[in-house]
Structure 1
Amino acid sequence: MSQLIQKYNIPGPRYTSYPTVPYWNMDTFSGQEWKNTLKKSFDESNAKEGISLYIHLPYCESMCTFCGCHKRITKQHDVETPYISSVLKEWRLYCDLFGSKPIIKEMHLGGGTPTFFSPQNLTRLINGIFRWAEKAPEYEFSFEGHPNNTTKEHLQALYDVGFRRVSYGVQDYNEKVQKAIHRVQPYENVKTVTEAAREIGYTSVGHDLIFGLPHQTLEHVKETILKTKSLRPDRLAFYSYAHVPWLKGNGQRGFLDEDLPSAKAKRAQYEEGKKLLSKVGYEEIGMDHFALKSDSLYQSMISGKLHRNFMGYTASKTQVMVGLGASSISDSWYSFAQNVKGLEEYKHLVENNIIPIYRGHILTQEDRIIRKHILNLMCRFKTNWDTKETYFPEIPSVVERLREMEQDGLVAFGIDELRVTEEGQPFIRNICMAFDVLLHRKEPETRLFSMTI
């Protein structure tokens, strides 16, 4: 396995979308076309399956150097009220476009630090959303909580408006590692907020762990997983640290490159961490995710309903996903659109009744077919091209690109179908890259992506 990891550990996309953002075609994109595809998709799917809503809350009180999110660092909490007002006005612009009440099936609050906002303001935000929307019969609302500032009041307030899932960013419990990434949070803090969520009634508590961090060793990873086991979160993310300072600027330069584990050490962290997670009772879900058998993410994988979008893995699919807030990305199934990243520009556009997108992509028929294949691989570890809806002209080239992986035991072919073997699952990004015709037609001249493993 180590030799294969060394062989296939190359820069590659994480495929939260296809086409990936660097390959969006701005020449064929327009704000009006985005609205047209969104309205079409909403009319097709809202009554049948509802929509998903992602709300980006960008403020943090301090900078974490592992973070690649769009955020604004401040300790001034008077920014909360005007930002929520802008988000609610943006939502109203979308509701006016829809023409009928959206039915929200999934909602996620991300950031930044959502719990930067007071419980009262978070309640105001969610109540404001449902002034023009309704909840689906089987809805799932979740948010990202910071263990150091998530209070019982935060948990109770969000529980009272429908939230039943929370994820906490743990990363690693070693103090030296925490200091290097500017995220010092003792185990006791994580224990307190995990137990508080369960006492209130949350049905799914998640922890996010990262390997490959500065000063991190294999023993640190093992210790973190064993401490995590004692709290028994319902689901886990076990991410590779994506060191992309050329994209994220000084936010990922809080330490020296030589402080990062070597490629060999990082591979060991991944391999041993994954084995240990399995040993302590977690089932692997798609890429980077693990869950107890009782969690909805595992159950959706077993039932074939697992889905992946800009929010990551979700327990069910909606055709429409609206992203609110600065830098959020929306998906109409026929097109993608991203909001402006600057807070001042975002607020200015919304105040002038303009949906604040600045770039996007209209999916071609080829894009939509390849997107299906990548979703199948990411969520079900298999795909097929035995119908005209799933075949595209470059399939023979895709198959040829995968022959070496077949020889390495990572994939297996049937008649017009592909299956990822258990040994191949850690290489799912590489396998998806074989289908990425845009990547092969125009390889990037500069480095765009993190390493695949």
Structure 2
Amino acid sequence: MSNYLINKYNVAGPRYTSYPTVPYWDLGNFSIEEYKKSLKRSFSESNQSEGISLYLHLPFCESLCTFCGCNKRITKRHEVESPYINAILDEWEMYLELLEEKPVIKEIHLGGGTPTFFSPENLKLLIQGLFKNATKAEGFDFSFEGHPNNTQKGHLEALYEAGFKRVSYGVQDYNMTVQQAIHRIQPFVNVKKATELAREIGYTSVGHDIIFGLPFQTVEHIRTTIEKTKELMPDRIAFYSYAHVPWIKGNGQRGFNEEDLPTADVKREMYETGKKMLAEAGYVEIGMDHFALRSDSLYKAVEEKKMHRNFMGYTHSKTKVMIGLGVSAISDSWSGFAQNVKTLEEYYELLEKREFPLYRGHILTEEDEKLRKHILNLMCNLETSWEDESSYFPELPDVLIRLKEMESDGLIEIEKDRLIIKEEGRPFVRNVCMAFDLLLQRSKPETQLFSMTV
């Protein structure tokens, strides 16, 4: 990939885990009651046919990783576990009362923070509590994020017995200088032990997360990290760019200086190097930033054009309803989004009053729904079409005019009623989506809201 194209298209842009993206939600006039109505409507239409998804945000970490942009609470006090689990189950009980019908759960993902901060016993109590008044869907898919330093056999066994078959581990980089800079000291032997333990117990998909663009990181570090990764051959690999947004995430991303970060052209070399090595090892690039072995369910979903993207990332099945439980968790009713409050204190206070702990969200308009469809198609399948009326919107000609330059640069193909992102354009999929993002195009934000696309 030429430096000319990198410099040309390396602009700030969303990662499109939703459309509209969070900064363009109805921040001032969001109606919790309207969202609850949209949730009940979608739930009644789809619960029995496809089930629902649950995302549980477990925010506690024992130490701060300075690359992390997630909502977290740093503590070594494990007595925080039980009150938080009880709060999540209280919140779930409120949803059960709202929805009335017993939920059929298709997907669960435990994210954080560090889910394995919690003891195996407490994680088991949490999952058991969820299913007191719910049932598992056929072909259910449960996953969690584990920290290689503290994921023990007990964690893996307790969650496996509860139906979890996928786990992902945050690797980031194996170089000690980089690990010290991001405050994540994590020897290869720990990752190896956690990966092999999961496989011995019976997990069918083990994923590793690798980040490029970290402070002090070099192309050689990427080579070394991927060589070590190949020794373990995880089923999935998330290989993505570090999002440096300290103006949004606060002091957590200020543990190093701006000049310690690699330049955009070095980051692109890191990506191209890693991508080539992963392809040689048998991994197939999927969507944006993801790679999978052909035996993994995510690759099969791509082959069948069934892959979906939401706030949990890429998944191999789609549900219209995703309920987020826990501090800062986001819910999706398919016709609306809602996010929980971000501080533990406010979360606990609202639940104590038996109030849904939501503070912002968005009810989708007809235009939003059409644009989301195109952006999802591009993010998941690298193509979209407008051959039927349900996919056409009046501004489409303007969108295609904005994309003419990318077509001239050989990154996309525009046909009469279809757009295809070429292999050369895959690194710029976010830029293509931005042309469809009418809310972004109409606004002139005074501050930078997103990380750079390259």
Shift of 1:6: 1.9
Aligned to 1:396: 397
Aligned to 2:187: 186
Letter in 2 for 1:168: Y
Q: Establish whether residue 331 from structure 1 lines up as the match of residue 312 from structure 2.
A: no
Checking the alignment, whether the CA contact within 8 Å between 2:6 and 2:265 is kept in structure 1 is no
Aligned to 2:22: 21
Secondary structure at the aligned position of 1:219 is classed as helix
Letter in 2 for 1:191: K
Shift of 1:451: 0.5
Aligned to 1:117: 118
Secondary structure at the aligned position of 1:110 is classed as strand
Aligned to 1:101: 102
Secondary structure at the aligned position of 1:238 is classed as strand
Question: 2 CA distance for matches of 1:102 and 1:381?
Answer: 33
Q: Establish whether residue 406 from structure 1 lines up as the match of residue 402 from structure 2.
A: no
Checking the alignment, whether the CA contact within 8 Å between 2:54 and 2:109 is kept in structure 1 is yes
Identity of aligned residues (%): 67
- Equivalent residue runs for 1:258-273 within 5 Å: 258-273=259-274
Letter in 2 for 1:155: L
**CA deviation string 1:59-118 (max 9, x = no partner):** 000000000000000000000000000000000100111111111101000000000000
Secondary structure at the aligned position of 1:101 is classed as coil
Secondary structure at the aligned position of 1:239 is classed as strand
Aligned to 2:257: 256
Question: 2 CA distance for matches of 1:388 and 1:29?
Answer: 30
Q: Establish whether residue 380 from structure 1 lines up as the match of residue 381 from structure 2.
A: yes
Checking the alignment, whether the CA contact within 8 Å between 1:12 and 1:449 is kept in structure 2 is yes
Question: 2 CA distance for matches of 1:261 and 1:372?
Answer: 35
Secondary structure at the aligned position of 1:125 is classed as helix
Secondary structure at the aligned position of 1:389 is classed as helix
Secondary structure at the aligned position of 1:319 is classed as coil
Secondary structure at the aligned position of 1:423 is classed as helix
Checking the alignment, whether the CA contact within 8 Å between 1:28 and 1:362 is kept in structure 2 is no
Aligned to 2:73: 72
Checking the alignment, whether the CA contact within 8 Å between 2:414 and 2:420 is kept in structure 1 is yes
- Equivalent residue runs for 1:83-94 within 5 Å: 83-94=84-95
Question: 2 CA distance for matches of 1:177 and 1:224?
Answer: 11
Gaps of 5+ in 2: none
Question: 1 CA distance for matches of 2:249 and 2:442?
Answer: 26
Checking the alignment, whether the CA contact within 8 Å between 1:213 and 1:260 is kept in structure 2 is yes
Question: 2 CA distance for matches of 1:333 and 1:161?
Answer: 27
Secondary structure at the aligned position of 2:133 is classed as coil
Letter in 1 for 2:332: D
Aligned to 1:349: 350
Secondary structure at the aligned position of 1:337 is classed as strand
Question: 1 CA distance for matches of 2:256 and 2:39?
Answer: 43
**CA deviation string 1:112-149 (max 9, x = no partner):** 00000000000000000000111001000000000000
- Equivalent residue runs for 1:275-314 within 5 Å: 275-314=276-315
Shift of 1:443: 2.4
Question: 1 CA distance for matches of 2:29 and 2:81?
Answer: 36
Shift of 1:388: 1.5
Checking the alignment, whether the CA contact within 8 Å between 2:6 and 2:264 is kept in structure 1 is no
Shift of 1:29: 2.3
Aligned to 1:46: 47
Aligned to 1:58: 59
Checking the alignment, whether the CA contact within 8 Å between 2:339 and 2:360 is kept in structure 1 is yes
- Equivalent residue runs for 1:157-172 within 5 Å: 157-172=158-173
**CA deviation string 1:141-174 (max 9, x = no partner):** 0000000000000000100100000000000000
Q: TM-score, normalised by structure 2?
A: 0.99
Question: 2 CA distance for matches of 1:328 and 1:287?
Answer: 23
Shift of 1:28: 4.8
Question: 1 CA distance for matches of 2:88 and 2:367?
Answer: 34
Letter in 2 for 1:306: M
Question: 2 CA distance for matches of 1:318 and 1:120?
Answer: 29
Letter in 1 for 2:100: G
Question: 2 CA distance for matches of 1:82 and 1:25?
Answer: 31
Gaps of 5+ in 1: none
Checking the alignment, whether the CA contact within 8 Å between 1:103 and 1:133 is kept in structure 2 is yes
Aligned to 1:232: 233
Letter in 2 for 1:75: K
Aligned to 2:133: 132
Shift of 1:27: 4.7
Aligned to 1:359: 360
- RMSD of equivalent CA atoms: 0.7
Checking the alignment, whether the CA contact within 8 Å between 1:113 and 1:144 is kept in structure 2 is yes
Aligned to 2:11: 10
**CA deviation string 1:339-358 (max 9, x = no partner):** 00010110111121111000
Secondary structure at the aligned position of 1:424 is classed as helix
Question: 1 CA distance for matches of 2:352 and 2:111?
Answer: 23
Aligned to 2:429: 428
Q: Establish whether residue 176 from structure 1 lines up as the match of residue 177 from structure 2.
A: yes
Secondary structure at the aligned position of 1:336 is classed as strand
Question: 2 CA distance for matches of 1:285 and 1:54?
Answer: 22
Secondary structure at the aligned position of 2:11 is classed as coil
Secondary structure at the aligned position of 1:144 is classed as strand
Question: 2 CA distance for matches of 1:367 and 1:179?
Answer: 43
Secondary structure at the aligned position of 2:390 is classed as coil
Letter in 1 for 2:271: Y
Of 229-238 and 266-275, deviating more is 266-275
Shift of 1:26: 3.2
Checking the alignment, whether the CA contact within 8 Å between 1:107 and 1:141 is kept in structure 2 is yes
Letter in 1 for 2:329: S
Shift of 1:257: 1.3
Secondary structure at the aligned position of 1:131 is classed as helix
Of 30-39 and 271-280, deviating more is 271-280
Checking the alignment, whether the CA contact within 8 Å between 1:51 and 1:103 is kept in structure 2 is yes
Aligned to 2:211: 210
Question: 2 CA distance for matches of 1:419 and 1:257?
Answer: 36
Aligned to 2:145: 144
Question: 2 CA distance for matches of 1:313 and 1:351?
Answer: 34
